[in-house]
Structure 1
Amino acid sequence: MWIFVAGVVVFFATHLLPTAPALRERFVARLGDNGYRGLYSLVAFVGLVMIIWGYGEWRTAGPAVLYVPPLWTRHLTMLLMLPVFVLLIAAYAPGRIKARTKHPMILAVKIWAFAHLLANGDAASVALFGAFLAWGVIDRISLKRRTPAATGGGAAVVNGSARNDLIAIVGGLLVYALFVWKVHTWLIGVPVLM
């Protein structure tokens, strides 16, 4: 459990650094832009590895069950997960989806975390998905506050191509289908379809 907690602290401290622009700028001034990005990536990766390792150990130890979700929440989770992979791809394929959602990756993380909180009631899962949901909410609020100041009064609306939207939708649904079919079981050890 402590490896998990330490990983959460390291990972989210890193990811919350951009919400404090003055502190971030001090790191960039000291390390340079590439040095900052490299250190940021390394520390975030170490935190993520600690989260995954600690979460696995905590679940193996049998964490306390905080609530038992009803069976229907699994179906709701699967439904809520449909747009998650579409949004993740849309974050890298600028299109109308990205323009409308503004920050599709953060939205994807929030939906993913909320959906998994509906289907998992053990303490390890609540801590994991609750932490990601809290980060998503905090980061989105921070982005709303940072964007106008950084862009001189508001972010420009960018209308991307319909082709990129099609790529995001088809690619996202394909990845979703693969996760439902086998990938979730292979990566996480928990089958989606039982």
Structure 2
Amino acid sequence: MTVLILGLVLFLGAHSVRIFADGWRTRTIASLGDKGWKAAYSVVSLIGFGLIVWGYGLARQQPVVVWSPPVMMKHLNSLFTLVAFVFLAAAYVPRNQIRAKLHHPMVLGVKLWAFGHLLATGKLADMVLFGAFLLWAVLDFRAARQRDRALGTVYAPGTLAGTLIAVVVGAVAWAVFAFWLHAAWIGVAPLGRTL
């Protein structure tokens, strides 16, 4: 569990700089330059991510069961994850109504993904992993909305075409991940079987 926690501290810590130390971030970018900052940020994030994957794998070898979720929670998690994938796509597809309305759909997608997985899993390592991501997403969304208000950020209106593209891309990515990649990469088939 120590490796998992260290990975979460590094990965989510790097992704929390704008939440807790935006001024320091600005000064550091001015000192290192944009490329230097991105390089350091990427290195810390990759090390953290690697430790999360390794630590989670280690923790799953000796699972500590906290509770046994009902089967319906797994189905609810699948729905939440589908919406999370659509939100993730909406963060990148230009001029879609989801981003125009929600402003930070990727962070909301992380919230849904983490919350759904907390409902559907009952082991201690799951609670640490998904609980940490849920807490980060809540704090990050709040900080991002505060920055938007302070800067007077205006988001471009979305179009129906952009919205449909975001929904289709997100749904296809979810299906590929749910039916094939989740089992191959994580060892769990979330929908009970693979095609």
Q: Same fold (TM over 0.5)?
A: yes
Q: With the length of structure 2 as denominator, give the TM-score of the two structures.
A: 0.93
Of 141, 154, 157 in structure 2, the residue corresponding to residue 156 of structure 1 is: 154
Per-residue deviation, residues 153-185 of structure 1 (Å, max 9, x unmatched): x22131133222121111111112222221110
Matched, 1:10 2:10: yes
Unpaired segments ≥5 residues, structure 2: none
Aligned to 1:64: 64
Native 8 Å contact 2:81 2:112 kept in 1 = yes
Matched, 1:26 2:27: yes
Q: With the length of structure 1 as denominator, give the TM-score of the two structures.
A: 0.93
Native 8 Å contact 2:89 2:170 kept in 1 = yes
Per-residue deviation, residues 16-56 of structure 1 (Å, max 9, x unmatched): 10122111112112211111111111111110111011101
CA separation of 1:163 and 1:141: change in aligned 2, threshold 3 A: same
User: Share of identical aligned residues, percent?
Assistant: 42
Distance in 1, Cα, partners of 2:106 & 2:155:
17
Distance in 2, Cα, partners of 1:23 & 1:97:
32
Aligned to 2:36: 35
Aligned to 2:185: 187
Moved more, 127-136 or 175-184: 175-184
Distance in 1, Cα, partners of 2:148 & 2:130:
26
Q: How many residues align?
A: 190
Per-residue deviation, residues 117-152 of structure 1 (Å, max 9, x unmatched): 011010000000000000000101111222222x2x
RMSD between aligned residues: 1.2
Distance in 2, Cα, partners of 1:23 & 1:64:
39
| Letter aligned with residue 169 of structure 1 | V
Aligned to 1:143: 144
C-alpha displacement of 1:96 = 1.0
Per-residue deviation, residues 85-104 of structure 1 (Å, max 9, x unmatched): 11111101121111111101
Matched, 1:47 2:29: no
Distance in 1, Cα, partners of 2:79 & 2:55:
28
Per-residue deviation, residues 52-106 of structure 1 (Å, max 9, x unmatched): 111011111x231111111111111112222111111110112111111110100
Distance in 2, Cα, partners of 1:8 & 1:54:
10
Distance in 1, Cα, partners of 2:23 & 2:40:
17
Native 8 Å contact 2:78 2:191 kept in 1 = no
Distance in 1, Cα, partners of 2:79 & 2:188:
17
